[in-house]
Amino acid sequence: MNAELRIIPLGGLGEIGKNMMLIETPSDALIVDAGLMFPENDMLGIDYIIPDYRSVLDRKDHVRGIIVTHGHEDHTGAIRHVAEAFDAPIFATPLTRGLLEVKLGRAGLAGRAHLQTVKAGGEISLGPFRIEFFHVCHSIPDGVGLGITTPAGLIVHSGDFKFDHTPVDGWPTDYAKLAEFSGRGVLALLSDSTNADQAGWTPSERVVDGAFEEVFRAAPGRILIGTFASLISRIQQAANAAYRHNRKMALVGTSMVENARMAQKLGYLDIPDGLMVSIEEALRLPSAKVVLMTTGTQGEPSSILGRLASGRNRQFELEQDDTVIFSSHPIPGNEELVHRTINRLFQRGAHVIYDPIAPVHVSGHASAEEMKLLIHLVRPKHVIPIHGELRHLKQHGAIARDLGIPAENVAVVENGTQIEFADGRMTLADRVPGNYVFVDGTGVGDIGPSVMRERELLARDGFVSVQLRVRASNGALTEKPEIISKGFVYVRESGELLAGAEQTIREAVARGGSGELGTRVENALSEYFYSETKRRPMVFVSVSAI
């Protein structure tokens, strides 16, 4: 490595950000964040996707620390994999650390990871790096950005941020620190791009209070509020509204209960005494006295809202006068499931409130004008858009150029691209190899394109599997072929089609000809099924000769 400093955003094909970054000198390295990505709709059967850090494992011993900027899944979800692979201490603010503990505990790594607490406003030194943590507003408390003094200069990393002037916890983004960085001279700003295609300024969390207030005033029965388990400030807002309207509140769902307990213990949730009740108590109270807060706003069929929508929740059912608030936006790709869940809740007689019906959710990410303010506050020499899909990075890059950052000082890059600094200048080197690393069950990275392609074919038209028994001497069938079919046709009503298939098999066997018998029958059957149904099931023929 010739450069003084190298930054590599790690991930798959680089279209969609899984948030993990390596920042390294020739002898030392830092990792920032260890996020997961949720599978897209056509990544069949995949549980989640982690960053591809295999290409940097050779510098494993250089890694002085893993810094986690905040407690969301897309920044923490791969921590068990990253912690095991790099075996370095993990630094996080108290709430983020608490949430990491919950997560590592579930993975059975509670004792083995070395967690260390840092605070917004504080700093640490790791090898040649001095890292200053500064508070940023986001949709989870205790998020930080980083000022990283490196041998090549000062790097500012925004974390996930917005400039909320009236955040729920009363703790605005640390403008003074940003301005101070600016005074020292900033080599590069790495800044959150998630909402780069949204004009203007993201509304304050405060607007949700107003929306809750209106809903609470009108709700005749129970109020169910769905949100993300990590959206601690939303739990606070719901609790405040419940308190004002003289309702009790219960949290439903393990992850939300665990997160809230951790947040309350650490002082990030301020719940009036007696407000919180158990779900059992809540169900005994009059409907108009109850708020239930739960997860499942992404339409997951197995979540509580998903089960309520389909009438399969055991502990309690939806009631006619229930009001359900979706205090979240669909994660891209989940829109259909979310809308289906909303439709089904309506179908069961609930009032459902969601954005845009009322502003019951706001984004936690800066919009275009906030991105501009950050650039002007920090006055960086170079801008590197991070976090978001490539289209967001591109748009953020355009914003930076609009503000006068020279085009050659703006690096809009895909994951894996090596961004190098020497003598105050930035150059882009090759991409390190990398791809999606699928996690499916206990398998990490063992599922690649060929298995995905098979799942796709099976999903589309199913398969037909045939067992043939033939006499070795003359190749004649010794018994009726056995045909198994799944996902292709409704077998009970396909007698004729399957009789035709048997006929096709018999003819292909009798016809003889060159080539292997199994392949010959497979081809004949594939053709037959396509001509009859215009579907293309996978066809397998196994021959045993006796």
Stretch that binds its own copies, among 67-75, 115-123, 384-392, 423-431 (CB under 8 A): 384-392
The verdict on 450 binding its own copies (CB under 8 A) reads yes
The verdict on 475 binding its own copies (CB under 8 A) reads no
Among 484, 503, 516, 519, binds its own copies (CB under 8 A): 484
Helix (H) or strand (E) holding 286: none
Stretch that binds its own copies, among 88-96, 260-268, 329-337, 400-408 (CB under 8 A): 329-337
Rounded to 10 degrees, the C-alpha dihedral 316/331/445/35 comes to -100
The verdict on 363 binding its own copies (CB under 8 A) reads no
Among 28, 73, 461, 522, binds its own copies (CB under 8 A): 461
Site string for its own copies, 190-219 (x = CB under 8 A): -------xxx--------------------
Among 279, 451, 477, 498, binds its own copies (CB under 8 A): 451
Nearer to its own copies, 64 or 81 (CB): 81
Residue 2 structure tokens: 């010739």
The CA distances from residue 66 to 4, 92, 226, in Å, are 20, 9, 32
Nearer to its own copies, 267 or 448 (CB): 448
Query: Phi/psi at 391 (nearest 5 deg)?
Result: -60, -35
CB 464 within 8 A of CB 485: yes
The verdict on 112 binding its own copies (CB under 8 A) reads no
The verdict on 540 binding its own copies (CB under 8 A) reads yes
Nearer to its own copies, 184 or 391 (CB): 391
Among 288, 458, 477, 498, binds its own copies (CB under 8 A): 458
Say how far apart CA 36 and CA 74 lie, in whole Å.
Answer: 5
Among 274, 495, 513, 534, binds its own copies (CB under 8 A): 534
**Interacting residues with its own copies between 65 and 84 (CB under 8 A):** none
Site string for its own copies, 4-43 (x = CB under 8 A): ----------xxx-----------------------xxx-
Q: How many CB atoms lie within 10 A of CB 388?
A: 21
Nearer to its own copies, 236 or 504 (CB): 504
The set of residues, in sequence order, having a beta carbon less than 8 Å from that of 276 and lying 6+ positions away, is 239, 248, 249, 250, 251
The verdict on 395 binding its own copies (CB under 8 A) reads yes
* 3-class secondary structure, 256: helix
Q: How far is the CB of 265 from its own copies (least distance, A)?
A: 32
Nearer to its own copies, 1 or 44 (CB): 44
Say how far apart CA 219 and CA 321 lie, in whole Å.
Answer: 8
**Interacting residues with its own copies between 258 and 277 (CB under 8 A):** none
The verdict on 335 binding its own copies (CB under 8 A) reads yes
Catalytic residues: 192, 365
Stretch that binds its own copies, among 59-67, 76-84, 152-160, 449-457 (CB under 8 A): 449-457
Nearer to its own copies, 60 or 460 (CB): 460
CB 148 within 8 A of CB 154: yes
Rounded to 10 degrees, the C-alpha dihedral 167/172/173/178 comes to 160
Residue 160 structure tokens: 């996930």
Rounded to 10 degrees, the C-alpha dihedral 523/525/528/531 comes to -70
Say how far apart CA 325 and CA 345 lie, in whole Å.
Answer: 11
Among 123, 213, 369, 532, binds its own copies (CB under 8 A): 532
3-state helix, strand, coil split of the chain in percent (to 5) is 35, 25, 40
Strands (E), 88-214: 90-92, 115-117, 123-126, 129-135, 144-150, 153-157, 186-192
**Interacting residues with its own copies between 424 and 443 (CB under 8 A):** 440-443
